[in-house]
Chains A and B, each alone.
Chain A
Amino acid sequence: MENGVRRWLVNVSQWNPSEAQFASVISLFPVDEQTAITRYIKFEDKKRALVSRLLQYSLVHEVLGIPFDKIIIHRTAEGKPYLKNSIDFPFSNFNFNVSHHGDYVGIASEPLCFVGLDIVSITTPKQETELEFINNFSPYLTALEWKNIAHAGSSEDMLVEFYRYWCLKEAFVKAIGAGLGYGLHRLEFHHTNWTGISVYIDGAESKKWRFSLSKLDEKHWVSIARGLPNKADELCCSNLLLPELRFSFRTAEELISNVS
C-alpha cells in the first residue's frame, strides 16, 4: 500500500546527453520550468536542475497518481518547490524536498512529517586553506560545533566535519522552508558518532525532529531532516519514529522514459 515515503538519488555524472537529447528532455516540462532550467549559465547547473525536475515530477506521479501534464509545482518565495495540486487524505500533508550538489541530485518525500534533504559535495578549497575556508562560516556554527570541528583531526577531517554540520543545518532549514535568511547559529546538533542526531534550537532540545546523515561516496554526504507539524496527531508522531528509509538510486534515462 502506498505510504508516500520516497528517497531517490541520481548520479548525474553518469548521464551525458547530447545537446539535442538535452533539449528534447527539457521540452517535456512546462514553459516556466524550462525557463528556470535554461537560465543557468553552467551546463552542469542546467543538468542538475533538469534532473531535479525529472525527480519531482516522477515522484509525484508515482506516489499520487497525478498524470504528468496535470502536475503543477510552484515555488515559495524562498524557492522551495511544492505541489500546487490539492491532495486528499491521507496525503494532505504530503511534501517533498530536493537537493543537488556535485554529482548527485536527490529527492525525499513524506506523507505527514515535514522533510528536508541536503547533499554536500566536499571539495578541497582552491584559493585558501581548509581552516581559512571553514572560518568563513564561523558565524553559522555554535561553540560546541566549532570545538568538535577543531578536534576532528587533520585539516581534511575538519573539513568533512564542517560539511556534516552544514549538511544537517541545511536539511533542517529546507524542511521548514525558511530559506537562507534563517539564523543557522541557533541550531546545535548533538550526536553519538553521527548517529542518534538531535537538534537544539536556541539552546533547547527539540523532540520534534529526527535526522540522519549518510555517506554516498568519498566526496558526498546526504542528510535528511524530518519534523512534526504544529498540530501533529498520534499518527504523525509515530510516523516520525519510523526508521529512516534507505536511498535508492535511479538513472536519468529511467526517469525520462517515465515522463515521456
Chain B
Amino acid sequence: MASVAGTAFSVSARPPPRSLQVFNGLSVVKSVSFANQRKSIPSLRSHPATSRFRVSCAAKPETLEKVCKIVKKQLALPESATVAGHSKFADLGADSLDTVEVVMGLEEAFGITVEEDSAQSIVTVQDAADLIEDLVCAKSS
C-alpha cells in the first residue's frame, strides 16, 4: 500500500465564513461572522469513527420522521425508496456535496448547529435524528 505523503497538516484557525450576496445587481463578497463555523466537512461515514458518541435523548418518532423526509428530499430519492432509522447515509448514495447540504438542511429545519465531531459519528439516519433530538433538548433546557 502506498504510504500517504505528509498528512501532518495541523488544523489552523479558519477564516470566518463568507456570504455571497447579490446587491443592486452586483455580486459582492460580504464577510459575515456567525456561530456556524466548521473546520471540516461533517463526514457521514460507513462506520463510526469513535465510540464517544452518546445521546441523552433518543429521537422522538416525529423527529425521526422529519429527518427521514429531509434526507429523502435532499438526496432526491425516488418515492419508492424507504428511508428509515436503520438506513445508512452511505447506502443512500450521499457524496461529499450531498453531505454538506443534508447537514445544513437539518440545521435549518431544527434551528441547531451540528459540531463536526458529532457529525463524524453519524452512520445511520437514526444517529442523525438522535443527535438532533439531543441538541434540541439541550437548546430548550
Interface, chain A (partner B; CB < 8 A): 39-42, 44-45, 79, 82-84, 93-95, 101, 114, 126-127, 131, 133-143, 146-147, 149-151, 158, 166, 170, 176-186, 201-202, 208, 227-230
Task: Given A143-B29, A150-B20, A229-B5, verify A42-B40 contact (CB < 8 Å).
Answer: no
Q: Which of A140, A202, A230 is in CB contact (< 8 Å) with B5?
A: A230
**What residues on B are CB-neighbors of A139 within 8 Å?**
14, 17, 36-38
**What residues on B are CB-neighbors of A182 within 8 Å?**
9, 40-41
Interface string of B1-45 (1 = CB under 8 A from A): 111111101011011011111100001110000001111111101
Q: Which of B5, B20, B41 is in CB contact (< 8 Å) with A135?
A: B20
Q: Which residue of B lies closest to A85 (CB)?
A: B1
- Report the bound CA distance from A177 to B5 in whole Å: 9
**What residues on A are CB-neighbors of B22 within 8 Å?**
131
Task: Given A135-B20, A176-B5, verify A183-B39 contact (CB < 8 Å).
Answer: yes
Central interface residue in B5, B14, B36, B100, by most chain A CB within 10 Å: B5
A146 touches B97 (CB 8 A): no
A41 touches B29 (CB 8 A): no
Q: Which residue of B lies closest to A100 (CB)?
A: B95
**What residues on A are CB-neighbors of B73 within 8 Å?**
127
Report the interface size for chain B: residues with CB under 8 A from the other chain: 52
Contacts A94-B2, A229-B3 known; 18 new A-B pairs at CB < 8 A: A41-B82, A79-B45, A82-B1, A114-B5, A131-B22, A139-B36, A146-B18, A146-B29, A147-B29, A150-B20, A151-B27, A177-B7, A178-B7, A182-B9, A183-B40, A185-B14, A185-B15, A201-B9
Task: Given A138-B18, A150-B20, verify A227-B5 contact (CB < 8 Å).
Answer: yes
**What residues on B are CB-neighbors of A141 within 8 Å?**
18
- Report the bound CA distance from A84 to B93 in whole Å: 26
B14 touches A42 (CB 8 A): no
B20 touches A41 (CB 8 A): no
- Report the bound CA distance from A208 to B96 in whole Å: 25
**What residues on A are CB-neighbors of B15 within 8 Å?**
142-143, 185
- B137 interfacial contact with A, CB 8 Å: no
B9 touches A177 (CB 8 A): no
**What residues on A are CB-neighbors of B61 within 8 Å?**
none
Q: Which of B2, B3, B19 is in CB contact (< 8 Å) with A138?
A: B19
A166 touches B81 (CB 8 A): no
**What residues on B are CB-neighbors of A151 within 8 Å?**
27
B127 to chain A, nearest CB (A): 16
**What residues on B are CB-neighbors of A133 within 8 Å?**
101
**What residues on B are CB-neighbors of A134 within 8 Å?**
20
- B126 interfacial contact with A, CB 8 Å: no
A142 to chain B, nearest CB (A): 7
A138 touches B17 (CB 8 A): yes
**What residues on B are CB-neighbors of A181 within 8 Å?**
40-41, 43, 116, 120
Interface residues of B in 71-130 (CB under 8 A from A): 73, 76-78, 81-82, 87-88, 90-93, 95-97, 99-101, 104, 116, 120
- B56 interfacial contact with A, CB 8 Å: no
**What residues on B are CB-neighbors of A147 within 8 Å?**
29
A136 touches B104 (CB 8 A): yes
- Report the bound CA distance from A42 to B92 in whole Å: 7
Q: Which residue of B lies closest to A82 (CB)?
A: B1
Task: Given A45-B93, A131-B22, verify A177-B37 contact (CB < 8 Å).
Answer: no
